Structure 1
Amino acid sequence: MGDADQAVLPALAALHGAPTPAFRGSTTQYFDGQIAANNPYPKPWKERARRALAGWDGAPWYPEKAVIWLANGAIRAMNPAHILVECLTNRDWGRGLDRGLLDEASYRRAADTLHAEGFGLCLRWARQTSISDFMQVVIDHIGAAQYTDRSTGRSTLRLLRDDYRVEDLPVFDYESGLLAIEEDEGGAQDGAVNQVIVTWYDPIKDEERQIRVQDLAGIQATGGVASTTTEYRGLPTAELAARVGTRDLSIACSALKRFKVRLDRRGGVLAPGSVFCIRDPFREIGTLVLRAGTFDDGRLAEGAILVSAVQDVFGLPATSYLQPQPPVWTPPDRNPQPAPTRRLFEAGYRDLATTLDPAALAALPADAGLVLAVGEQPGGLALNYILTTRVGGGAYSEAGTGDWCPTALLAGALSATTTAVQLAAGRALDQVAVGTAAWVEDELVRVVAIDPQAQTATLARGCADTVPVPHATGARIWFYDDFAANDPNDYSVGETVQAKLLTRTSSAQLDPALAPVDTIKLAQRQVRPYPPGDLKLNGLRYPASIDGDLALSWAHRDRRLQADQLVDHGQGSIGLEAGTAYVVRLSDAIAGQALDSPAALTGNNYASPLRGAYRVRAEIGTTRDGLTSWQKASHTFDFKNGLLRTEVGDDLVAEAGDFILMD
């Protein structure tokens, strides 16, 4: 570089003649000698130029740290902080700023750090590149932020380094300046870069070279290499290129989150490259270390500053998130599970009359029986079930598909006359329709009313071929109408049918080996005569005791006339099916012996001649063509008749304690 007082070189003056310039302030190359032999085409000329202290506009700035020796003294690189200072202050080709407009302390700190790191650059600036672009290249090399400080108005340089303590950083939350988090963009891990290729320039060999830096764990996790190439032509050594590549790879692998945070004017202490913390309990952020990027000061009246920031890679170990409350929702189990409760029952005449036309019903053999099945839904994702059946030791075959049956438990005990019922543990009660049939153990009832929310119901008792009986607390009720799976196979009387309910979900079906086995023995239920209805003793329904002569009465029932109607026990007479007779039996409920068994009756009443004092069980069934009713109307009560009594009505007893009968 020609000095300001450089004289004319005599050799050039002799070559060019007068006048010859002194070439002050410029670099001039002069050669005098032989350049080729036996070849009219000389090779291209190359030259290596370097400067660190020469060519400054005035005295060099901070000359002690301007030069950084690399490669064991083979490379004389320039401190990047000095490059930036000269670009800002040179009045010939730079921005021409006065050095007083620089925050010299910040540039000195950066120069000291870069010198200690051995971070020297060998860069050439071409005039077709703007000074701003050239300075940005330097900043990208060293990882820094250069900005005009808003409080001093001076140009400031800040290196992005792990040079802070988290506990010393300013913290912004909703009580200390944080107004809102307006954007929260998470860094995606899928497809993350796991290899960085750095292109650098070797000034000794005068060639472009590359070095690869890899995240071996990331490569193994993804099963492949996701690579990116970055160009840092100012890096003069492989060691420095590896360090910069490691820096870029750590950022690329960290999936850093980006934020836009709105702060009040207390955020004015921040500057580009500043490190700060935010806390937001609503986003479950305990402490998050961010590096400030750009600023939008907004309008003065708004009193807010919008800061674009990125999660700082050096602050990742200090990042903490608030422990969220464990969710109360448990993901549903998609694996098919066995139905927790199930029931098989033989179809009665009423069940067949609801599904078969009259001709098919009349053609059904008397010894044929059909099986129905119901099951409770095991989980919310269980769609329905496949009914499989077999007889004997054969293989199970698919018999039909069933929907899960609404069901519940009795919250209290029922007597034979109870109609208002409190339910518990109800399932799908909102699907139950008024007027449909339900099973309470072995008693068929009709739903008169139901409230799914309150889990209450009103029932008509002892319908079709059943009679009302007491039920204990916890007895299960099945609202099976429209929800029973029908096995279309006809089975013979006495056969035992085994069944499995195979739960189906949207993706699988229950393994048959995991399904419980339910069994039922066929008993010609559909062809048996109905038991009598409306049993009364001396005109009373289910009295606790009878004192005097015993008169029994009942109502006729006819399965063919009733067909698909759910006639309950308390209704009046319907028919009497042809060939049907009643069998009355009065027995001692304690000793078990028969007390009165008249011949079969066709009427609907009977006056018993029974005398004495007993705990009596009265049973009235029906018979037709050698078949008896599936159930019998019955009641147990205390009975006294024909006893000798005192004038005041007390019963007389013998010395042995037996009642004395009148002759």
Structure 2
Amino acid sequence: MSISVQDIAGIERSLGEIKDAKVSYEGVANGALAARLAMRDLRQLSSTLAKITLVANRTAASLNIGDVFRFSWPELRIEQLILRVAQISYGTLADGRVRITCVEDVFGLPDAVYLAPAESGWVDPRQAPIAANFVSLSELPYWTIVHEMTGESAAAQAEIDPNGGFLSVSAVRPSDAAINYAVLTRQGSAAFEKIGVGDFIPSCVLANDIGQTETVLNVLYGVDLDLVTLNTYAQVGSELVAVKAINVAAGTVTVDRGVLDTVPAKHSAGARLYFIEGGQFYNTSQYLNGETVQTKVLPVTGMGVLAEASAPTISYTFAKRQMRPYPPGKFRVNNLDYSVSYITGEVTVSWAHRSRVLQTAYLVTQGESNIGPEPGTTYTVRIYGEAGTLRHTETGLTGTSWTYPMATEIAESGLNRPNEKLTVKVEAVRDGYTSWQAQQIDIPECRGYGMFYGASYGE
């Protein structure tokens, strides 16, 4: 805020010469007070002050330096001149007269100011809280439970119910004013109860569609990307990815696809990437398989907490995620990965073992060789025909490959010929638990036998 005052008469007396001075009033936030201070200083700078030395009787002994008093001298036509004591001598025992040196007072603040103070440029940075539009709920994966709750202690892990899970809440900052958020939960029709306070996580969205193999993702609308920690996992859709690099200026995020208990999947432009690990909210309350918890996220700003009624309710049903075996890795069909455009001949599926209990040191990539598996792990292969109908299921496999004989495919296709396209899925099974996700490869074209078996054999 700035205020300007002028002594117009003084400018006229000096034939238009202007002498300016700038004064800063630190800590003054009120325009009216600033104007009074400016007028006071203007009077000091532009006035010729009267200086008087007075000799008075003992009545004046009550004055002190800095005091003001009225002074009148009719012979000189001085009436009610306000003087301020600059120096004072109280006399002696032999001479009790009081000697006062004083000056005309221009140091007090004027009562009236003929000036409209300028409007303040200050804007209150506080904002009312608004709802968080982007919230992700899930169960904590086994990796996070080991890293942040139990460690490698078998005793601590044994205390977790095998049918239990822990709620994970991740929310994106809805406005720059949002500080953190309160988490409320309930089951059934009970009242919502606050279970803790969470911090917002970084996030962005995909700029374009991606398949199962892209690792450099073009992203838009980043929020708090400077807070991302590399070599942690993020979530896009239901897939977890390992964050390897971020270039905010270029708008790219480099990742390893399908880590932990997830597999690479296709995602559409606009899918949101949540940088979850290290920032998600969770507590130690366990929810059993099949239980549904309802959650509200209430952002907090300097003006308070979002009203409970203004926050949407988000539900999540638990499904024993942390106990399930990891899906196999290094998934191939006829030695081709997810980017396969066609195959020739019969289908041979291959994969690599994975083990959740052995994969706690780093985020294992899809392309790595065998790790594990957990004791008792088997694999189930499912083949879907060209119409998307399940045609074959192979269970109880303990190795890392399986071949779908051509004769079997023809017999099961329902077409009296091989399928023109196929989808192959493989999942892991252990102790009755099925992997959280299944590997999947879509084969757009199966060559070598033609539309009708034998009609264009060898195409």
TM-score (norm 1): 0.51
Cα distance in 2 between the residues matched to 1:344 and 1:187: 46
- How far residue 604 of structure 1 moved from its aligned partner, in angstroms, is 0.6
The aligned counterpart of 2:380 is 583
- Map of 1:512 onto structure 2: 308
- What is residue 257 of structure 1 aligned with on the other side? 39
What is the match of residue 85 of structure 2? none
Q: 1:518 to 1:551 in 2, by over 3 A?
A: same
SS in 1 for 2:420: strand
Equivalent residues in 2 for 1:510-659, closer than 5 Å: 510-542=306-338, 543-563=340-360, 565-589=362-386, 591-610=387-406, 612-640=418-446, 643=449, 651=450
Q: 1:227-626 counterparts in 2 under 5 A?
A: 257=39, 260=42, 331-357=124-150, 358=153, 359-506=155-302, 508-542=304-338, 543-563=340-360, 565-589=362-386, 591-610=387-406, 612-626=418-432
Mapped to 1, the partners of 2:136 and 2:254 lie a distance apart of 23
Tell which deviates more after alignment, 614-623 or 565-574: 565-574
Structure-2 separation of matches of 1:470 and 1:494: 28
Partner of 1:67: none
Checking the alignment, whether the CA contact within 8 Å between 2:243 and 2:253 is kept in structure 1 is yes
- Secondary structure (helix, strand or coil) at the match of 2:425 reads strand
Distance 1:630 1:271 in 2: 87
Deviations 1:561-603, CA, capped at 9 Å, x for gaps: 11363212222211111111111111114x2223433332111
Give the whole-Å Cα distance in 1 for the aligned partners of 2:399 and 2:130.
53
8 A contact 2:426–2:440 mirrored in 1: yes
Q: Distance in 2 between matches of 1:605 and 1:544?
A: 21
CA distance 1:432–1:184, shift in 2 (3 Å) = closer
Q: Which consecutive unaligned segments of at least 5 residues does structure 2 have? A: 1-8, 49-105, 411-417
Residue 379 of structure 1, CA deviation? 2.7
| 1:330-350 alpha-carbon deviations (Å, 9 max, x no partner) | 643343332231111111211
Q: Which residue of 1 aligns with 2:455?
A: 660
Q: How many residues align?
A: 376
Alignment partners' CA distance in 2, 1:187 and 1:532: 66
Over residues 510-561 of structure 1, what are the superposed CA-to-partner deviations in whole Å (9 max), with x where a residue is unaligned?
Answer: 2222222111010111111111111112212121110223221111111111
Alpha-carbon distance between aligned partners in 2 of 1:337 and 1:517, rounded to the nearest angstrom: 15
Greater length-normalized contact order (CA 8 Å, ≥ 6 residues apart) = 2
Q: Distance in 2 between matches of 1:553 and 1:462?
A: 17
Q: Deviations over 1:408-457 (max 9, x none)?
A: 11122221111112222111111111111111111011111123444422
Cα distance 1:189–1:541, how it changes in 2: closer, same or farther (>3 A)? closer
Q: Could you tell me which residue of structure 1 aligns to residue 54 of structure 2?
A: none
Q: Secondary structure at the match of 1:531?
A: coil
* Aligned equivalents of 1:331, 1:637: Cα separation in 2: 59
Distance in 2 of aligned mates of 1:353 and 1:184: 59
Partner SS, residue 175 of structure 2: coil
2:342–2:447 CA contact under 8 A, matched in 1: no
Is the contact between residue 139 and residue 168 of structure 2 (CA under 8 Å) also seen in structure 1?
A: yes
Cα 1:179/1:520, change in 2 over 3 Å: same
Distance 1:256 1:449, change over 3 A: closer
Query: Is the contact between residue 385 and residue 419 of structure 2 (CA under 8 Å) also seen in structure 1?
Result: no
**CA distance 1:373–1:150, shift in 2 (3 Å):** closer
**Counterpart code for 1:576:** P
Q: Deviations over 1:484-506 (max 9, x none)?
A: 11132111111110011122334
Moved over 6 A (4+): 184-192, 253-256, 312-315
Q: 1 or 2, which has the higher helix percentage?
A: 1
- Aligned-residue offset at 1:405: 0.9
Residue matched to 1:244: none
User: Using the alignment, how far apart are the partners of 1:179 and 1:191 within structure 2?
Assistant: 23
Which one-letter code corresponds to 1:523 in the other structure?
A
1:476 is displaced (CA, Å) by 0.7
Q: AA paired with 2:301?
A: T
Amino acid at match of 1:554: W
The offset of 1:464, in angstroms, is: 0.7
Report if aligned partners of 1:435, 1:448 keep a CA contact under 8 Å in 2: yes
Q: CA deviation at 1:313?
A: 12
Distance 1:615 1:622 in 2: 24
Q: Check conservation: 2:337, 2:441, Cα contact below 8 A.
A: no
* Alignment partners' CA distance in 1, 2:23 and 2:299: 47
Do 1:549 and 1:641's aligned partners in 2 also have CA atoms closer than 8 Å?
no
Q: Give the direction of change, closer, same or farther, for the CA distance of 1:585–1:260 in structure 2 (3 Å limit).
A: same
Shift of 1:607: 1.7
Cα distance in structure 1, aligned partners of 2:24 and 2:183: 53
Cα distance in 2, alignment partners of residues 593 and 533 from structure 1: 25
Letter in 2 for 1:364: I
Deviations 1:376-419 (A, max 9, x none): 12233322122121111112222222111111111222211111
Give the alignment's TM-score, normalised by structure 2.
0.71
Whole-angstrom CA distance in 1 between matches of 2:374 and 2:390: 28
Equivalent pair of 2:347/2:403 in contact (CA under 8 Å)? yes
By how many angstroms is 1:191 displaced? Answer: 9.0
The residue identity in structure 1 corresponding to 2:346 is: D
Cα RMSD after superposing both structures: 3.9
Say if 1:401 and 1:660 are closer, same or farther in 2 by CA, change over 3 A.
same
Q: Secondary structure at the match of 1:433?
A: coil
Q: CA deviation at 1:257?
A: 3.4
- CA distance in structure 2 between the partners assigned to 1:505 and 1:188 by the alignment: 26
Say which one has the larger Rg.
1
1:314/1:477 Cα in 2 relative to 1: closer, same or farther (>3 Å)? closer
Distance 1:597 1:660, change over 3 A: farther
Give the whole-Å Cα distance in 1 for the aligned partners of 2:111 and 2:186: 68
CA contact (8 A) 2:422 2:446 kept: no
Aligned amino acid, residue 547 of structure 1: T
SS across alignment from 1:355: helix
